[in-house]
Structure formats: structure tokens, C-alpha cells
Amino acid sequence: MKNFYSITFTHQSVGLEGIGQYHVLPENFDVQTISAIKMECDEFLFLSTCNRVEYWLTAKSELSRNGLLAIFQHIYKNRSAEFHENAVNQAIIYSQVKAVEHVFRVASSLDSLVIGEREILSQIRDAFSSSKQLDLTGDFLRILVRKTVDTAKKVFTQTEIADKPVSVVNLAYRKLMDLNPKKGSRILVVGSGRTNQALTKKMKKNGFSNFTVFNRSIENAQSLASELNGNGNSLEQLCNHQNGFDILVACTASQTPIITHQIFKDLLGGENGREKIVVDLAMPREVDEEIIESFKSHFIGVESLKEIAAENLKSRKSEIHKCEAIVEAQIADFIHVNKVRQVELAMRQVPLQMREIRQRAFETVFAADVQKLDSEAKEVLEKVVSYMEKKYMNAPMLMAKEILIKEDVR
């Protein structure tokens, strides 16, 4: 673990707007780049998400500023010298045990933009898979990632860090489900941006199927509608919709309400007496406030959701000390596992050396004596030597593990 490093760019260090310049994809790692990285590192993993870029690596020697600069020059080879210098200056560097602690905290979402969000765990799994396919990972990172996943699972199952939703989409979906809408509900979707994509895909995954999407760009409307197995239309066609609805989901970038009193009345298609569900996830509102007062409806809006999110986030933060205790215990366990693995790797040479000694004994040192033995005696000798060889190889390994355990107990 001596030369293990975590090189990090996060929303905290460079801002959300600055993260994009450091994003990397598997395609960035061509044969030349991989070869150059292997000159500097024994193992290498890259993780790139919307609010962080991470490089976890075992360097061939102590990582210097020039060594880090060389790595960035290989990865971002089409960027300027000024960019490379800025990258070195902006990178947060953790080493050895601190690097392991950082990795465990990241996977447990303790350092995430939204504390307690589980998505980072699947992103780490994908990052390891991508790096492995590029032949950049090895034994250390394999064990580290396995322990990292184990740590995150313990954090998420043994604490309440992820129990209460804090994202607007998850909160909106939960409030929507509390109203117990029918799976066959007619769903009008106004806007096809990320928020509506996330909510409607969540709805589709849970059995809803009747979607009609409206958006300024008909291409984007049809793209989302295709994923939902629904219909896509331009926003201009909204006022012509005559099939009624049960659930209205609205979120665009409009500065004034898209769903006016008259448009809402027209969309009802004469179903004035039936209670509707209105989900408005935009700021400012997409749905005119007058509608909530004039028509029978259940309204789910951002303002109330953000209040719940703030309370839930406060609750999540109160769990951090429990999570950190788990992380600390897992670090100690990983250190022990890593020590044992290093002993196992070092002892790999023992079987080879034993075979060489055995071969030399039978073919050179005691060759004449062995030749004098009959077949039955030779067979017995083979069994005795094989038994001793096996026991000799196991004994040092067991002794080494016992020594490590005693050291950890101290």
C-alpha cells in the first residue's frame, strides 16, 4: 500500500462547472496512453461522474509532482501545458491509508454532493470493470474494490444514511405513489429534460405505461416518448390534446407558467369532476397557481418537496458518525487483508523452489541411490517427499499469518 494514491477532482475543489474539463471516458485510453500509464503505474483505475473525477493508482515509486504531471499529460494529451499545470495544482492527493479511507468514504457517499445517494457504488463497479478491460488493474485494486463495495453495503444497511430520500425526483415519486394512482393512468408529460426523464422512467419501471410527451423540440419529445413506449409531440400541440389525463407532470425551463387556467381546462376534456394529480417540478412553477384553487386536484410542487428534502438531509447527516465508525473498522480489516495477501504473493516462490530442490535431489544428489530402489520403494519415497513438500509449503504461510494476526491484536 506504500505507493497507493487517490487523485481527486470534486465539486468541492473545482466547482460543478469545473468538473467537466476533467471528465474521461474509456475511449480516451488508446494503446499509446495505456502504455504510457503503465510506465508510471503498476495499477490504475479511473472514475468519472457528474460531480467528481477520481484516479486510484499504485505508482512504481513515490508519486512526485512531475510524475503526476506526466500522468495528466498522457490522459489529457490534446490539452495545453497550462491545463496540465492547473490539473496538478487543483488535484487533491491522498496516499496510503488516507487514500484507502477516501475511497471507502466516496463509495459510502459520505463525500458525495448528495449524502447517502447509492448511485456512486454502481459507478465504482463500472469504473473497475472499464479499467480492468483496459488491462490497467491488478491484484491490489481487485481486493480494494471488493472491500470498498463491502464497506458501502455495510454503511447502507447498518445505518439510516440512505433511508430518507433527498432528491426532488425521489420525493415526488414517493408522494405520487402515496396517492395510489392506477397503473393505467393517462400521463401527460410537459418537458423532456433530465428531471422529467428521471421521474417518468421511474414510473415506467414500476408499471405505468400510458405516456404522452410534449416538448418544444419534437425530436426530444419523441426521444423520451420512445423510451417510455408513448407518443411524442411538440409543445405547440398541447392545446389540441383531447384525450384527457389522470396525471400531469410538468417541468420545462419556462419563466412563466406553461399550464394556464384555460389550457388546463381544455386538457381536462370535460372531465371537470374527476380529481387529477398535478406534479410540477419546475422553478418557477409551470402550473398556474389559480388552477390548484379552481380544479379538484392533488398538487405536488417543488417548494414542499425541498422542505422535506432539507429535513431528510439533516437526518442523513446525523448518521455520519455511525458510517465513519464502520469505515474505520473496514480500513483496519483491509490493512490486515492486504498484509496477508502480500505474504501469499511473496510465498508464491516457495513451491517453485521446492520443486527445484526435489528435482535436483532425485536427478542429481541422490540419483544413484534412487536407481537402486525397486518400484515399490520408489513409490513410497515419492509419497513421503510429496507429503513433506506440501507440509513445508503450508507451515511458513500459517506462521506468517499468525504473526500478522498477533501484530494486529497489539
In whole angstroms, how far apart are CA 198 and each of 146, 171, 227, 263? 29, 12, 11, 25
pLDDT per residue over 317-333, tens digit each?
889 999 999 999 999 99
Residues 128 and 13 reside in one and the same domain: yes
Would you say 280 and 269 are in contact if contact means Cβ atoms under 8 Å apart?
no
Q: Which residues contact 70 (CB under 8 A, 6 or more apart)?
A: 36, 40
| Tally of domains in the chain | 3
Pairing state between β 41-48 and 52-59: antiparallel
Residue 116 belongs to some domain of the structure? yes
pLDDT per residue over 233-275, tens digit each?
999 999 899 889 999 999 987 878 899 999 999 999 888 778 8
Would you say 148 and 72 are in contact if contact means Cβ atoms under 8 Å apart?
no
Return the DSSP state at 81: H
Residue 320 belongs to some domain of the structure? no
Q: What is the pLDDT of residue 410?
A: 45
Would you say 187 and 246 are in contact if contact means Cβ atoms under 8 Å apart?
yes
Would you say 175 and 305 are in contact if contact means Cβ atoms under 8 Å apart?
yes
Q: What is the pLDDT of residue 236?
A: 92
HSE-CB for 296 with a 13 A CA cutoff: 8
d(CA 12, CA 290): 41
Mean pLDDT confidence for 374-382: 87
**Strand ranges, E, within 251-394:** 276-280, 297-301
Does the pLDDT of residue 279 top 80, yes or no?
yes
Q: What is the pLDDT of residue 158?
A: 94
Residue 188 belongs to some domain of the structure? yes
* Cα angle 198, 201, 206; round to 5: 125
Share of the chain above pLDDT 90, in %: 55
Q: What CATH number does the domain containing 12 carry? A: 3.30.460.30
Q: What is the pTM of this model?
A: 0.67
Does the pLDDT of residue 1 top 80, yes or no?
no
Q: What is the pLDDT of residue 409?
A: 42
Residues 97 and 182 reside in one and the same domain: no
Lowest mean pLDDT of 71-85, 117-131, 330-344, 387-401, name the range.
387-401
Residue 339 belongs to some domain of the structure? no
Q: What CATH number does the domain containing 249 carry? A: 3.40.50.720
